[in-house]
Each structure stands twice: as C-alpha cells, then as structure tokens.
Structure 1
Amino acid sequence: MTDDLGLFEERPSRERPRRPTAASAAARRAKQLRKKRRNRLAVFGIVVALLIGGGVWFGFRQLSGLGGYDDFSGAGERDVIFEVKGGDSTGAIAGRLAEDGIVASGKAFLAAAQKETKVRSIQPGYYVMRTKISGEAAVQKIVTPTSKVGHLQIRAGTQLDDLANGATVVPGIISQLSAASCATLDGKKTCVPVEELLKVAETGDLKALGVPEWAIPDASRAPEPKRRLEGLIAPDVYDVKPGSTAEELWTKLVTESSARLQSYGMPKLAESTGFTPYQVLVIASLIEREAIEADFKKVSRVTYNRLVKAMELKYDSTINYVLTRPAITTRAEDRATPGPYNSYLNTGLTPTPIAAASKAALAAAANPAEGTWLFFVKCQKNGTSCFGDTYAQHEDNIKQAKANGAY
C-alpha cells in the first residue's frame, strides 16, 4: 500500500550498526597517520623558515654593521708576522686576524674596512701586525706599505754572488734573500745572515731543499759547493717569511722556483735538443748574460754551432762570472787564467749555469734560430749584437761596434 497522504511514518530501524571491518580500520589509521605527518612537516617547515630567516638576518647584521661586536683598544701588545694568502677575501683576512689575536673579532676589522678602499688591494705576502689592536688600527696597519715584509724580486741574469760594478755593488740572490728575511719586531731587527744562507747552499740536502730530480746529479757535481744552486732560482717575485731559518728560506725559494721552471716547460723542453735539461738550463743562463732578448735565439744558435764544432765558446760572461763583475769585455790575463768556467780555454759548456735564466732564454735555448753564425758582438748601444759566419766578418762587426760606441 502506498502512503500518498503521508498517513504512515517510517519508523527508525532498530537494527544494530555494522562493526567496521579490519580493512576500513586500517584505512582510517593510515589517514590519521598521513594527517599527523602533514602536520609535522608543516611545523618543520615553519621552524626551518625561521632558522633560515634568522641566519639571513644575522648575516645581514654582520655585513651591514647592525648589532655589536667585540673590539680591542689601546696600543696592542706585541708585533707578529701575519700572512695574507693568495685568493684571500677580506672576510678570510678578517677571520684569521681574529684567530691570531690581532683583532678581537673579524667583525671589528670588516666594519673598519668599509671606510678604507685600500683594503681591496691588499696583496698576498707577509705583514708586520700587532696583537690586540682595534679593527680600525688593524686596517690602517695592513694598508701601510712599510708593513709588508719578505718581498723578494729576482731579476733575470742575477747570480748567487754579488756583482761589483765599479764602486757599486749589485746584490746577488743570497744577499737579496738575506735582506728579505729581515723584519723589525718590537723594535728589534732580525735577519738571517748571508753566512748562514751560504752554509745551507753549500751543504744542504739538494732534494730536501726542493731541487728538481733532473738537476740534482749535475748540481751535486758543481766544482765549488757554493755554486750548487746557481741557475736553479727562477727570476720572479717571491714572498718569504721573516723569522724563518736559513733552511726554511732556501726550501721555500727553491721549491717555488722548481715549480716555475716546470711551468716554463722543464724538463720536457730539452727533449728535442740533444742536451740534458740541466745543460739546456746552462745554455739559457749563457744566453741571458750574453744578449738582449731580441737576440736570444741567434745567440742560442751560435752556442749550438760552436758546441757541434767543438770550438771554445769564448763568452766573456763566463770569465766575469767567477770574478763577480758584469763588464762587457775581459782582460787578457783573466782569459788566460785556467778554471772550470773559462770558456776561452775550455770547450763545451760551463759546469753549472752562471745566472738565473728567464722563460724567454730557456725557450731560446731549446729552440735556436736557424743560421750558420759562429760569432757575435754587441755592436749597438742598446745591446743589439751583430752576427757573422767567419772571423773576418766578426772583425768587421767589432770595428762597427767601436764606431757605434757600443764598448
């Protein structure tokens, strides 16, 4: 019967609700677990955001100058040597200044550095600084030119010993290294004496000092121990640390020189020459002392041609090497004095290099110009040489050199 008039109400069912199945219960638990995970992730995200925001704010405060920082005041306590390393940023310098007790905090240095543009041009090397000084004082100290110490510039053609040019003494590598080792700390000047450096050069273990393997056999056979390191110091700019021992100074200098020689192509540079790498280094040193760079390759060819013919090289630079003087010409009595470096009396190369050879001289020693020259003489005041195949041509070139006032 239908109840179109709504006379009969449908009574609520008295049936008990069905119990959830195991599957539905598991689904409900999984849903709740996912909800909890989402809540935890949300909380974690908020925490991370707060931490990152706090870190950014802290970094901003440090860089912008907001907030306080530790700083020293007063004249400081004592002088120390501080190293600026290659590639150091201002921040890295500030951090190590704080580590060394020079400033109270890196922030003190950075805050003061914002007012000094010279900080951006600080060069790698060693500086005399003072412990426990303010950031402002540290900035002013490190940009003062006299604070930089340990600077050593070796020029091409420089030899270990000093050269006497009349009344003027041209410092050799040993004297220059001794001078670079000096620093005045707390009013007291300290240097490594020439005598200590010479002793190490004569007696130190060549391998331990950093001499490359290809040079050790020949260098160890130098006719005089003091000449063992000749030619093994590449011309360049170096930074050595004042306060180091003689052994430490030589080791740093020789090791860095060996790396530079390698960057020039040694020892592979010699492979196609018919000479050993050490002999090529000797040839390069002769070229360096005998000619200007424009003539390097021609002088190299003269050297090769004379060696092939077993002729004496007759280079005045080899005579002057043991006399420690740079004169262009030599005296007859000096040329007649026997000795391992007398290229007027001996055939072949000198037993060691006679000076620091440049990259250009090494390249010329490994790749001489094409030519049949056997003679050359400096014939222009600017050092340019004239070359000849015969002695008659050479005599004409000498006349021209004298007429030009070359010597």
Structure 2
Amino acid sequence: MTDRWARAEERYRAREADRRYPRRDDWGLDPRAPRAEEPMAEPVSWDDYDDDTNVIPRYEDEVPEAEPEPAAAPRRVGQRGAAAERGDAKPSGRGRPAGRGKASGRGKKSRIASRKAAERKRRRRNMWVVGAVFALLVVAAGGFAGYKVMSSFTPAADFAGPPGELVVVQVHPGDTATQIAAVMHERGVVASSEAFYEAAVQNTGMNSVQPGYYAIGERSPAADAVAALVGGQSRVGNVVVSEGRLLHDKHDVGTGGRYDGIYRKIAEASCVGPDGRCVTYEELDAAGASLDLAGLGVPAWAMQAVSECPDRARQLEGLIAAGTWDFDPTGTPQEILRQLITTSVQAYESTGLLQSGADTELSPYETLIAASLVEREAKPEDMGKVARVIVNRLQVGQMLQFDSTVNYTLDTTEVATTDADRARVTAWNTYAMEGLPKTPIAAPSVAALEAVENPEPGAWLYFVTVDKQGTTKFTDSYQEHLRLVTQAQSSGILDSSRSGSGG
C-alpha cells in the first residue's frame, strides 16, 4: 500500500506541475489541456484508479471453474462497504464489476480446458504404455534370437554307446527324416531327435529307406542308429509270399526237399536279433485254426464260407495274398495273422472284387477260390483263358478236374497225379466233386484275381500243357483235348514218378 500511495502522489504532483506551467508543441496545442468542445474530465477518484499491480495474469485453460459468490447484503446508494472504508477494496477488472455472464464463460472455458488437459495426460500415459510393451517385445525377440544363436553352437544331445537292447520302431510310408527322428527319440533309441536328424541328413542312404519295422539298439549314438536303419540288416517283420504258396509246408516227391509254407516264412521273419524270440510255425498254425474269425481279420464277405471249412487248419488258406508284406514281429501270433490278412484283403478289394461277378456269377469268396486255381494252373500270359475255362465249366455243370486240387491235400506233390490220388474224396479234389473247392488252394496274385474278375472271352472247356517249355493249348472239343493229352504224355509232362497217368 505504501508504494501505491507513493506512485499516486507522484502522478498528482506531475499533473499540478503541468497545470501551472503548461507546455506547447509545434502545433500550438497542449495535449493535456481540455478541448473546448469536450467537457473537463472529472478528477480521478482513488476508488476509480485501476491498480495494475494487483492484477495477476492467468492462462485461460488453467482458470478453475468459477464458484458462485454468496449474495451481498443490500445497502444504500452511495454507501461504501466496510472494506472500502478500510481502504482494502480492490477494483474488479479495470473498474468494471464482474458480471454473471463473464463468470459463466470462464466456467465453461475452464471445463473444456480441464477435459483437454485430462486428454493430454491420458495420451501421454498411453504412449508410455505402448513404448513399454514395444520395448519388452524387442527385448524378448533379442533374447530368443540370442538363444537360437547360442543353440547353434551347442551340440545336440547324443549317446556315447554302445547300443543296448533292441527296440522295434516302425517307418510309415511317406515318413520324413524329421518324423523318423521323433520316433527314434520317443522309443529311447537316440538321445535327441536333433542328433538323429543331423546324422540322417549327412547320410544319402536315408533316401532309400523303405517303410517297415526295424530293430535298433536303445541308447545308440545317432550316427550308428542311422547306419543301422540305412543298412537294411536291422529290418524285421518283412515277409515275401510268392504266388501260389500254401499255408503249410509241402515236400517234393522226387527230392524230398521241403517247400516252405506261409506260416514257416512268417515265423522266420518274426525273429528280432540273433538271439531274440521268434514266433514259431506251430504257434501260427494253432492261431490260424481259431474260431475267433473276426479276431483273425476274416472279412465279412468270407466269414460264412470260412466258418464252414471242414478243416480248421486250412480255413485261412488264400486270405494272405501273394506279395511283400510288413508286420510287427513283437505281436502275438493272432495279431500277426490279423495284420497280414487285413492288408491282403485291402489289396484284394482294390481290384474291384466286391463289384465283380456280373459275368462270372461268382461271389467274392468264390472268385478268390477260382483265382487260386488259376494261380496254380496257368502261366501269367494264359491266366485270362484258364479263368474262362473255369467259368465255362461251372456254368455248364462240368467237373473242373484240376490236378492242383488233388495235390493240395497231399504232403508230397508233383505236377502229375495218380489214379488213386484222383479217386480220393476230399473237400478240395475236383476229380471227385462238382464245383469249386471249399477254400482257395494257394495264395493268389492280384493278376490271377483280376483274370477271374474279367476272364478272356472264349468257348474253351479244356486246356493242357504240352511240353516242358510250358506251352498250353486250349480247345472246346473233347476229342481235340485227348489228342493234346497224348502229346503231353509223349513229352513227359504228365508222367508220374509214382504210378498211373495224368488226366
């Protein structure tokens, strides 16, 4: 207040000096003197003086919302308030009383400014959050990249050897090196799939690995496991069934040598390791005679005929097809037979077996029986004609009279048969019965099966092999057939080493 009064007194003295000693400019006018046309300004009152020193500047967006002022008590005109009488009153905005409209405008601006300030604060907070997340992602990516780089310098886990007990692993058709590596690791053959894969990609023989089962020692070094797989010596459960092979062993009449049956071949292929246990011929024979036909994998289209087989030991004849098959050697005899029969049935049905019979009038199982006869009687180039002979004879009710059906139940066999053999009544001897045998007499090939499904057109009823080169002649005349039989006898084809003549 002292400064305020001092400045006011100084200005008052300046005005008094100008009034007493007026100064004139070049125009002859005193800018401080009142003009004639204008009335003399009223002396400034202390209450009207605008003291700029008490005005504190404020930013509009920081002005808080004005609160309503309490209503003042009424007073008389000209009455000054107690504060004015004390000299404490302050001018309200350059001598103008603050109005309600201005207070309302300030309040609105204050609210808008508050919202903008809050929005700016929220945006800054979101930017910090996004920045923090981005930083975490960058750090995580860098860490992962560093891990991969470090891993590339760390060798994959591997066993030092030597290999332990043999483990049987399966390679499925279409398996990649990565999939094989995973199986090897799961079965405990190698310490890690990475080690096996690294060894596999360095061995070009991996491209020739065949699907099947392999016996490899557990805890093997990866390189040794790959070498065992590629070498082929570790393969187990792989059996080759030749065309026309029977389930049981046969012996040659002349030499006495054993002609191994399918059961014998399976038993040999089931051995795991030089000292490992093998499924025996006798175990397979017993399993094949089981009444649990579904458990053996017998298909529905063969179930009735197989259940009516007069000899249980022969009931599965023909259901294991000729070909190369894989089976799990660690399975039981029943499981092994079911696996082989199931695979063979799929091969049979792929030829259209279930849709055949419109021309031949044969059921799927009868078609399989006829195919086994074709397999035993004909060379591949003659299969279509031999199939037609079978169909023609069945349709006219003529006996088939095939020597192969006579030999089927004999322990010792040859091409020619004796009169005694042909007179022997069995469920398979077509010299002593009409129609087809009760079961197939051998494992037919797919070619033989297709020949019966679509036999070559012709009226043939007879055929005979006339020389040792396998030349076969076909005819529909019985007289011509007798002439061809004589020719075959002259060449020694139908001579029996026992007794009697061929027919």
- Map of 1:110-129 to 2, 5 A cutoff? 110-129=197-216
SS at match of 1:81: strand
Q: Quick one: distance in 1 between partners of 2:476 and 2:323?
A: 36
Question: Any idea what the Cα deviations from partners look like across 1:61-88, whole Å, max 9, x if unmatched?
Answer: 3xxxx42222222423323323223222
Aligned partner of 1:288 in structure 2 is 375
Unmatched runs of 5 consecutive residues or more in structure 1: 1-10
Change (3 A) 1:268 1:26: farther
Question: Any idea what the Cα deviations from partners look like across 1:11-46, whole Å, max 9, x if unmatched?
Answer: 999675143527756764675576457546744663
Change (3 A) 1:312 1:99: same
SS at match of 2:294: helix
| Corresponding residue to 2:257 among 149, 152, 168 | 168
Runs of 4+ in 1 over 6 A off after TM superposition: none
C-alpha root-mean-square deviation of aligned residues, in Å? 2.8
SS at match of 1:323: coil
Q: Quick one: distance in 1 between partners of 2:345 and 2:143?
A: 50
Q: State the 1:55 CA deviation.
A: 7.5
Aligned partner of 2:244 in structure 1 is 157
Aligned partner of 1:333 in structure 2 is 420
| Corresponding residue to 2:344 among 238, 252, 257 | 257
Change (3 A) 1:199 1:15: closer
Q: State the 1:104 CA deviation.
A: 1.8
Q: Quick one: distance in 2 between partners of 1:47 and 1:381?
A: 84
Structure number with bigger Rg: 2
Q: Quick one: distance in 2 between partners of 1:80 and 1:23?
A: 75
Question: Any idea what the Cα deviations from partners look like across 1:279-303, whole Å, max 9, x if unmatched?
Answer: 1111111111110111111111111
Q: Quick one: distance in 2 between partners of 1:324 and 1:245?
A: 28
Aligned partner of 2:191 in structure 1 is 104
Q: State the 1:254 CA deviation.
A: 1.4
Q: Quick one: distance in 1 between partners of 2:362 and 2:263?
A: 29
Paired letter, 1:168: G
Q: Quick one: distance in 1 between partners of 2:179 and 2:423?
A: 61
Q: State the 1:118 CA deviation.
A: 2.0
Unmatched runs of 5 consecutive residues or more in structure 2: 1-51, 61-108, 495-503
Q: Does 1:67 align with 2:158?
A: no
Change (3 A) 1:109 1:291: same
Question: Any idea what the Cα deviations from partners look like across 1:175-216, whole Å, max 9, x if unmatched?
Answer: 1111111223xx633111211111111124111211111100
Q: Does 1:311 align with 2:398?
A: yes
Q: Which has the higher contact order (CA 8 A, sep 6+)?
A: 1
TM-score by length of 1: 0.86
| Corresponding residue to 1:183 among 254, 268, 272 | 272
Q: Quick one: distance in 2 between partners of 1:78 and 1:362?
A: 43
Q: Does 1:203 align with 2:295?
A: no
Name whichever of 328-337 and 268-277 sits farther off: 268-277
Contact 1:190/1:243, CA 8 A, preserved across alignment: no
SS at match of 1:209: coil
Q: State the 1:377 CA deviation.
A: 0.6
SS at match of 1:94: helix
Name whichever of 263-272 and 367-376 sits farther off: 263-272
Name whichever of 354-363 and 211-220 sits farther off: 354-363
Q: State the 1:133 CA deviation.
A: 2.5
Change (3 A) 1:26 1:142: same
Aligned partner of 1:148 in structure 2 is 235
Aligned partner of 2:77 in structure 1 is none
Contact 2:167/2:187, CA 8 A, preserved across alignment: no
